[in-house]
Amino acid sequence: MAKRNTIKQKELSEEIQAEMSEAVEEKVEETENFINTFFSQKKVSTYLVARNLPFIAFLAFLGLLYISNRHLAENTVRRIDRLGREVKELSWDYKSLNAEQMKLTTQTEIAKRADTLGLRERTVPPIKLEIVKELK
């Protein structure tokens, strides 16, 4: 059973099918004509190229500008990443040095280091000195 051309479940008449095929053929011819005229030697001439040379140079300049901007952006991203890693490393160094300093400044650690120098922790309370001023 051959499938017939239908629109919305209604069969098309021979006239409508002929009109549709003619419309399709016209569109194909227009497309072929456009491609032929676009690439023909009459349309692409030295005059046309010379007339549009400033525009082509402008497009080339925009392309170079786009490439250089992309290059600078990538370098900036790399630099930010490198500095971020360096900040993390310095933060770790700071935290480890700070913890080490806190450990070394405890009273017991200071007493141990002072003992190697021959100094001992005082066991008697300090004496208060009073200075008496004489009136003249």
Instruction: Quick: pLDDT tens for 92-123.
Output: 999 999 999 999 999 888 888 888 888 888 88
For position 73, what pLDDT does the model report? 97
Tell me the HSE value of 63 on the side-chain side, using a 13 A CA sphere. 6
Asked whether residue 123 is domain-assigned, the answer is no
Asked whether residue 107 is domain-assigned, the answer is yes
Asked whether residue 9 is domain-assigned, the answer is no
For position 38, what pLDDT does the model report? 62
Asked whether residue 111 is domain-assigned, the answer is yes
For position 21, what pLDDT does the model report? 84
Question: Containing domain of residue 105, as a range?
Answer: 62-117
Token readout for 110 is 């200071």
Asked whether residue 93 is domain-assigned, the answer is yes
> 135 to each of 106, 129, 132, how far by Cα in Å?
46, 19, 10
Asked whether residue 96 is domain-assigned, the answer is yes
Q: What domain count does the chain have?
A: 1
Asked whether residue 42 is domain-assigned, the answer is no
For position 113, what pLDDT does the model report? 87
For position 30, what pLDDT does the model report? 80
Low-confidence ranges of the chain (pLDDT < 70): 1-12, 34-35, 37-45
For position 4, what pLDDT does the model report? 59
